[in-house]
Structure 1
Amino acid sequence: MITFFANVPLWVLPLFIGLVIISLRATRSRKVPKLLIYGLPLLGLLSLRTVLSFDLHLLAIVLFALGYTAGTIFGFLAQAKWIADATHRHVTIRGEWLTMVTIMGMFLLNFVNGAVTGIAPDVAMSPIFVAGISAFLGVLSGTFFGRALRVMRFTNAPA
Protein backbone atom coordinates (compact mmCIF):
# COMPACT_ATOMS: atom_id res chain seq x y z
CA MET A 1 0.00 0.00 0.00
CA ILE A 2 2.84 2.40 0.85
CA THR A 3 4.45 1.59 -2.51
CA PHE A 4 1.20 2.49 -4.24
CA PHE A 5 1.02 5.94 -2.61
CA ALA A 6 4.73 6.50 -3.14
CA ASN A 7 4.18 6.20 -6.90
CA VAL A 8 1.33 8.72 -7.02
CA PRO A 9 2.58 11.97 -8.62
CA LEU A 10 3.00 14.89 -6.20
CA TRP A 11 0.52 17.11 -8.05
CA VAL A 12 -2.40 14.70 -7.47
CA LEU A 13 -3.00 15.60 -3.80
CA PRO A 14 -3.14 19.40 -4.32
CA LEU A 15 -5.40 18.83 -7.35
CA PHE A 16 -7.69 16.61 -5.26
CA ILE A 17 -7.87 19.20 -2.46
CA GLY A 18 -8.59 21.99 -4.96
CA LEU A 19 -11.35 19.97 -6.60
CA VAL A 20 -12.93 19.20 -3.22
CA ILE A 21 -12.93 22.92 -2.34
CA ILE A 22 -14.48 23.87 -5.70
CA SER A 23 -17.03 21.08 -5.38
CA LEU A 24 -18.04 22.07 -1.85
CA ARG A 25 -18.65 25.65 -3.01
CA ALA A 26 -21.22 24.29 -5.45
CA THR A 27 -23.30 22.92 -2.58
CA ARG A 28 -24.29 26.50 -1.70
CA SER A 29 -26.32 28.96 -3.73
CA ARG A 30 -24.03 31.14 -5.80
CA LYS A 31 -23.88 33.71 -8.57
CA VAL A 32 -21.70 32.40 -11.39
CA PRO A 33 -20.48 34.08 -14.57
CA LYS A 34 -22.21 32.53 -17.57
CA LEU A 35 -18.85 32.31 -19.29
CA LEU A 36 -17.76 29.81 -16.63
CA ILE A 37 -20.87 27.68 -17.19
CA TYR A 38 -20.32 27.78 -20.95
CA GLY A 39 -16.65 26.86 -20.50
CA LEU A 40 -17.26 23.82 -18.27
CA PRO A 41 -17.94 21.46 -21.21
CA LEU A 42 -14.28 21.98 -22.15
CA LEU A 43 -13.34 20.50 -18.76
CA GLY A 44 -15.50 17.52 -19.61
CA LEU A 45 -13.76 17.10 -22.94
CA LEU A 46 -10.44 16.69 -21.14
CA SER A 47 -11.61 13.13 -20.55
CA LEU A 48 -11.09 12.50 -24.26
CA ARG A 49 -7.37 12.29 -23.50
CA THR A 50 -8.05 9.22 -21.37
CA VAL A 51 -10.51 7.71 -23.83
CA LEU A 52 -8.15 8.14 -26.78
CA SER A 53 -5.30 6.51 -24.83
CA PHE A 54 -7.06 3.13 -24.94
CA ASP A 55 -6.00 0.59 -27.56
CA LEU A 56 -9.65 -0.26 -28.22
CA HIS A 57 -10.30 3.12 -29.87
CA LEU A 58 -13.63 2.36 -31.51
CA LEU A 59 -15.17 0.81 -28.39
CA ALA A 60 -13.90 3.64 -26.20
CA ILE A 61 -15.07 6.43 -28.52
CA VAL A 62 -18.51 4.93 -29.18
CA LEU A 63 -19.20 4.37 -25.49
CA PHE A 64 -17.87 7.79 -24.56
CA ALA A 65 -20.18 9.35 -27.19
CA LEU A 66 -23.20 7.38 -25.97
CA GLY A 67 -22.39 8.27 -22.37
CA TYR A 68 -21.85 11.91 -23.32
CA THR A 69 -25.28 12.00 -24.96
CA ALA A 70 -26.94 10.47 -21.90
CA GLY A 71 -25.05 12.84 -19.61
CA THR A 72 -26.06 15.83 -21.71
CA ILE A 73 -29.73 14.89 -21.44
CA PHE A 74 -29.44 14.27 -17.70
CA GLY A 75 -27.51 17.50 -17.10
CA PHE A 76 -30.03 19.49 -19.13
CA LEU A 77 -32.98 18.09 -17.19
CA ALA A 78 -31.35 18.29 -13.76
CA GLN A 79 -30.10 21.87 -14.12
CA ALA A 80 -33.64 23.20 -14.52
CA LYS A 81 -34.38 22.94 -10.81
CA TRP A 82 -31.17 24.71 -9.77
CA ILE A 83 -31.33 27.87 -11.88
CA ALA A 84 -32.76 30.60 -9.68
CA ASP A 85 -32.14 33.66 -11.84
CA ALA A 86 -30.11 34.92 -14.78
CA THR A 87 -28.85 38.29 -15.87
CA HIS A 88 -26.93 39.25 -18.99
CA ARG A 89 -23.60 37.96 -17.61
CA HIS A 90 -24.41 35.89 -14.52
CA VAL A 91 -26.64 33.06 -13.44
CA THR A 92 -27.71 32.37 -9.87
CA ILE A 93 -27.62 28.67 -9.12
CA ARG A 94 -29.06 27.00 -6.04
CA GLY A 95 -26.76 24.74 -4.09
CA GLU A 96 -26.55 21.20 -5.44
CA TRP A 97 -24.37 18.10 -5.14
CA LEU A 98 -24.23 17.11 -8.82
CA THR A 99 -21.19 19.29 -9.39
CA MET A 100 -19.28 17.48 -6.65
CA VAL A 101 -20.33 14.06 -7.93
CA THR A 102 -19.35 15.00 -11.48
CA ILE A 103 -15.97 16.57 -10.69
CA MET A 104 -14.93 13.98 -8.13
CA GLY A 105 -16.21 11.15 -10.33
CA MET A 106 -14.10 12.34 -13.25
CA PHE A 107 -11.08 12.70 -10.96
CA LEU A 108 -11.61 9.22 -9.51
CA LEU A 109 -12.09 7.54 -12.90
CA ASN A 110 -8.95 9.15 -14.30
CA PHE A 111 -7.02 8.24 -11.13
CA VAL A 112 -8.23 4.62 -11.27
CA ASN A 113 -7.32 4.44 -14.95
CA GLY A 114 -3.80 5.69 -14.23
CA ALA A 115 -3.37 3.37 -11.27
CA VAL A 116 -4.65 0.28 -13.08
CA THR A 117 -2.56 1.10 -16.14
CA GLY A 118 0.52 1.27 -13.94
CA ILE A 119 -0.23 -1.76 -11.75
CA ALA A 120 -2.05 -4.14 -14.09
CA PRO A 121 -1.75 -3.02 -17.73
CA ASP A 122 -3.46 -6.20 -18.95
CA VAL A 123 -6.59 -5.28 -16.97
CA ALA A 124 -6.44 -1.72 -18.30
CA MET A 125 -6.58 -3.09 -21.86
CA SER A 126 -9.57 -5.37 -21.22
CA PRO A 127 -12.77 -4.49 -23.08
CA ILE A 128 -14.81 -4.36 -19.86
CA PHE A 129 -12.42 -1.87 -18.22
CA VAL A 130 -12.22 0.29 -21.35
CA ALA A 131 -16.01 0.21 -21.74
CA GLY A 132 -16.69 1.12 -18.13
CA ILE A 133 -14.21 3.98 -17.91
CA SER A 134 -15.21 5.39 -21.31
CA ALA A 135 -18.96 5.23 -20.71
CA PHE A 136 -18.83 6.73 -17.21
CA LEU A 137 -16.44 9.48 -18.29
CA GLY A 138 -18.84 10.24 -21.13
CA VAL A 139 -21.84 10.51 -18.80
CA LEU A 140 -20.00 12.74 -16.34
CA SER A 141 -18.53 14.91 -19.08
CA GLY A 142 -21.87 15.26 -20.83
CA THR A 143 -23.54 16.69 -17.73
CA PHE A 144 -21.44 19.85 -18.13
CA PHE A 145 -22.68 20.33 -21.69
CA GLY A 146 -26.29 19.66 -20.72
CA ARG A 147 -26.08 22.16 -17.91
CA ALA A 148 -24.60 24.80 -20.22
CA LEU A 149 -27.42 24.19 -22.71
CA ARG A 150 -30.02 24.61 -19.94
CA VAL A 151 -28.48 27.91 -18.81
CA MET A 152 -28.42 29.08 -22.42
CA ARG A 153 -32.07 28.10 -22.89
CA PHE A 154 -33.10 29.72 -19.59
CA THR A 155 -31.35 32.92 -20.61
CA ASN A 156 -33.00 32.99 -24.05
CA ALA A 157 -36.48 31.99 -22.81
CA PRO A 158 -39.16 34.65 -23.30
CA ALA A 159 -40.17 36.41 -20.08
Structure 2
Amino acid sequence: MLQQIVAHTPIHVWLLLAFLAWRGIAASRDGEVPLRRLAVLPVVMLVLSLQDMAGRFGLHGLPLVLWLAGAGIGMLAAWRITSPAAPGSAPGMVLQRGSWLPLALIMAIFAAKYTVAVLCTVRPELATQTGFACATCALYGVFNGLFAGRALRCLPLPRALRTAVSR
Protein backbone atom coordinates (compact mmCIF):
# COMPACT_ATOMS: atom_id res chain seq x y z
CA MET A 1 0.00 0.00 0.00
CA LEU A 2 2.85 2.40 0.83
CA GLN A 3 4.32 1.85 -2.63
CA GLN A 4 0.97 2.77 -4.19
CA ILE A 5 0.74 5.93 -2.10
CA VAL A 6 4.22 7.10 -3.06
CA ALA A 7 3.71 6.15 -6.72
CA HIS A 8 0.48 8.18 -6.92
CA THR A 9 1.98 11.27 -5.29
CA PRO A 10 2.19 14.06 -7.88
CA ILE A 11 5.70 15.10 -8.92
CA HIS A 12 5.11 18.69 -7.77
CA VAL A 13 4.86 17.40 -4.19
CA TRP A 14 8.38 15.96 -4.39
CA LEU A 15 9.68 19.15 -6.03
CA LEU A 16 8.14 21.18 -3.22
CA LEU A 17 9.78 18.88 -0.67
CA ALA A 18 13.16 19.37 -2.37
CA PHE A 19 12.75 23.17 -2.34
CA LEU A 20 11.69 23.21 1.30
CA ALA A 21 14.55 20.90 2.31
CA TRP A 22 17.00 23.19 0.49
CA ARG A 23 15.63 26.21 2.37
CA GLY A 24 15.82 24.32 5.67
CA ILE A 25 19.43 23.31 5.08
CA ALA A 26 20.30 26.89 4.10
CA ALA A 27 18.81 28.07 7.41
CA SER A 28 21.27 25.86 9.29
CA ARG A 29 24.15 28.22 8.54
CA ASP A 30 24.87 31.57 10.11
CA GLY A 31 24.54 34.39 7.66
CA GLU A 32 23.58 37.93 6.89
CA VAL A 33 20.02 37.99 5.61
CA PRO A 34 17.80 40.77 4.26
CA LEU A 35 14.78 41.29 6.52
CA ARG A 36 12.38 40.62 3.63
CA ARG A 37 13.90 37.15 3.10
CA LEU A 38 13.05 36.22 6.69
CA ALA A 39 9.40 36.22 5.67
CA VAL A 40 9.75 33.78 2.74
CA LEU A 41 9.61 30.49 4.62
CA PRO A 42 6.90 31.54 7.11
CA VAL A 43 4.75 32.89 4.25
CA VAL A 44 5.23 29.74 2.13
CA MET A 45 4.31 27.51 5.06
CA LEU A 46 1.34 29.75 5.93
CA VAL A 47 0.00 29.60 2.37
CA LEU A 48 0.39 25.81 2.26
CA SER A 49 -1.43 25.38 5.57
CA LEU A 50 -4.27 27.77 4.76
CA GLN A 51 -4.69 26.21 1.31
CA ASP A 52 -4.92 22.74 2.81
CA MET A 53 -7.27 23.85 5.58
CA ALA A 54 -9.55 25.74 3.17
CA GLY A 55 -9.73 22.82 0.78
CA ARG A 56 -10.35 20.15 3.40
CA PHE A 57 -12.15 21.77 6.30
CA GLY A 58 -12.99 25.36 5.40
CA LEU A 59 -11.63 28.46 7.08
CA HIS A 60 -14.34 28.94 9.69
CA GLY A 61 -15.55 27.78 13.06
CA LEU A 62 -13.68 25.78 15.64
CA PRO A 63 -10.90 24.52 13.30
CA LEU A 64 -9.96 28.13 12.48
CA VAL A 65 -10.09 29.14 16.15
CA LEU A 66 -7.83 26.22 17.05
CA TRP A 67 -5.45 27.12 14.20
CA LEU A 68 -5.23 30.67 15.61
CA ALA A 69 -4.66 29.34 19.13
CA GLY A 70 -1.99 26.93 17.88
CA ALA A 71 -0.32 29.75 15.96
CA GLY A 72 -0.24 31.90 19.09
CA ILE A 73 1.25 29.08 21.15
CA GLY A 74 3.82 28.38 18.44
CA MET A 75 4.82 32.03 18.21
CA LEU A 76 5.31 32.28 21.97
CA ALA A 77 7.34 29.06 22.01
CA ALA A 78 9.53 30.24 19.14
CA TRP A 79 10.10 33.56 20.88
CA ARG A 80 11.29 31.69 23.96
CA ILE A 81 13.55 29.11 22.25
CA THR A 82 15.20 31.23 19.56
CA SER A 83 17.78 33.92 20.06
CA PRO A 84 17.43 37.37 18.54
CA ALA A 85 19.34 38.28 15.41
CA ALA A 86 22.08 40.88 15.50
CA PRO A 87 22.01 43.92 13.23
CA GLY A 88 23.69 43.35 9.89
CA SER A 89 26.33 45.38 8.09
CA ALA A 90 23.72 47.48 6.28
CA PRO A 91 20.23 48.79 7.00
CA GLY A 92 17.61 46.12 6.39
CA MET A 93 20.07 43.28 7.05
CA VAL A 94 20.38 41.03 10.11
CA LEU A 95 22.91 38.43 11.18
CA GLN A 96 20.86 35.31 11.72
CA ARG A 97 22.29 32.40 13.65
CA GLY A 98 22.02 29.10 11.85
CA SER A 99 19.59 26.57 13.23
CA TRP A 100 18.39 23.11 12.29
CA LEU A 101 14.97 24.00 13.72
CA PRO A 102 13.58 25.24 10.37
CA LEU A 103 14.54 21.99 8.64
CA ALA A 104 13.00 19.94 11.44
CA LEU A 105 9.82 22.03 11.26
CA ILE A 106 9.70 21.76 7.47
CA MET A 107 10.01 17.99 7.58
CA ALA A 108 7.42 17.75 10.38
CA ILE A 109 4.85 19.92 8.60
CA PHE A 110 5.47 18.15 5.29
CA ALA A 111 4.99 14.77 6.99
CA ALA A 112 1.83 16.03 8.72
CA LYS A 113 0.35 17.47 5.51
CA TYR A 114 1.29 14.37 3.51
CA THR A 115 -0.23 12.10 6.15
CA VAL A 116 -3.44 14.16 6.28
CA ALA A 117 -3.68 14.06 2.46
CA VAL A 118 -3.19 10.30 2.39
CA LEU A 119 -5.66 9.71 5.23
CA CYS A 120 -8.28 11.89 3.57
CA THR A 121 -7.75 10.07 0.28
CA VAL A 122 -8.01 6.61 1.85
CA ARG A 123 -10.79 7.61 4.26
CA PRO A 124 -12.59 10.69 2.84
CA GLU A 125 -15.05 10.79 5.74
CA LEU A 126 -12.22 11.97 8.04
CA ALA A 127 -12.37 15.44 6.48
CA THR A 128 -15.93 15.82 7.80
CA GLN A 129 -15.09 14.76 11.36
CA THR A 130 -14.75 17.75 13.67
CA GLY A 131 -12.12 16.14 15.90
CA PHE A 132 -9.85 15.32 12.97
CA ALA A 133 -10.28 18.81 11.50
CA CYS A 134 -9.62 20.49 14.84
CA ALA A 135 -6.51 18.43 15.64
CA THR A 136 -5.11 18.97 12.14
CA CYS A 137 -5.75 22.72 12.17
CA ALA A 138 -4.29 23.14 15.67
CA LEU A 139 -1.15 21.26 14.59
CA TYR A 140 -0.82 23.40 11.45
CA GLY A 141 -1.25 26.49 13.61
CA VAL A 142 1.55 25.47 15.97
CA PHE A 143 3.87 24.89 13.01
CA ASN A 144 2.94 28.22 11.43
CA GLY A 145 3.39 30.01 14.74
CA LEU A 146 6.85 28.50 15.22
CA PHE A 147 7.93 29.73 11.78
CA ALA A 148 6.43 33.19 12.28
CA GLY A 149 7.78 33.53 15.81
CA ARG A 150 11.30 32.66 14.70
CA ALA A 151 11.12 35.26 11.93
CA LEU A 152 9.69 37.91 14.27
CA ARG A 153 12.46 37.20 16.75
CA CYS A 154 14.93 38.36 14.11
CA LEU A 155 13.33 41.76 13.62
CA PRO A 156 15.33 44.65 15.01
CA LEU A 157 12.91 45.60 17.80
CA PRO A 158 13.71 48.33 20.29
CA ARG A 159 15.33 46.93 23.45
CA ALA A 160 12.40 48.00 25.69
CA LEU A 161 9.86 46.19 23.51
CA ARG A 162 12.07 43.10 23.22
CA THR A 163 12.40 42.98 27.04
CA ALA A 164 8.65 43.45 27.57
CA VAL A 165 7.72 40.67 25.14
CA SER A 166 10.29 38.24 26.59
CA ARG A 167 8.75 38.39 30.07
Q: TM-score normalized by structure 1?
A: 0.84
How far is 1:155 from its partner? 4.6
- Give me the CA root mean square deviation: 2.2
- Residue of structure 1 in register with 2:67 after alignment: 64
How far is 1:48 from its partner? 1.4
Distance 1:63 1:121 in 2: 22
1:86/1:155 contact within 8 Å kept: no
1:52/1:60 contact within 8 Å kept: no
What amino acid is aligned across from residue 142 of structure 2 in structure 1? V
How far is 1:149 from its partner? 2.4
Distance 2:18 2:110 in 1: 11
Range with bigger deviation, 44-53 or 133-142: 44-53
Counterpart selection for 2:111 from 108, 111, 136? 108
> Which residues in structure 2 correspond to 1:87-102 (within 5 Å)?
87=88, 88-102=91-105
Number of corresponding residues:
155
> Which residues in structure 2 correspond to 1:39-50 (within 5 Å)?
39-46=40-47, 47-50=49-52
Q: TM-score normalized by structure 2?
A: 0.80
- Residue of structure 2 in register with 1:10 after alignment: 11
What amino acid is aligned across from residue 17 of structure 2 in structure 1? F
Which consecutive unaligned segments of at least 5 residues does structure 2 have?
161-167
Range with bigger deviation, 8-17 or 39-48: 39-48
1:51-99 CA distance string (max 9 Å, x none): 2231694121011010010011112222226x3x212222112221211
Counterpart selection for 2:141 from 138, 143, 154? 138
1:31/1:92 contact within 8 Å kept: yes
How far is 1:127 from its partner? 2.5
1:34/1:89 contact within 8 Å kept: yes
- Residue of structure 2 in register with 1:19 after alignment: 20
Change (3 A) 1:39 1:56: closer
- Residue of structure 2 in register with 1:127 after alignment: 130
- Residue of structure 1 in register with 2:159 after alignment: 157
- Residue of structure 1 in register with 2:87 after alignment: 86
Distance 2:75 2:152 in 1: 9
Which consecutive unaligned segments of at least 5 residues does structure 1 have?
none
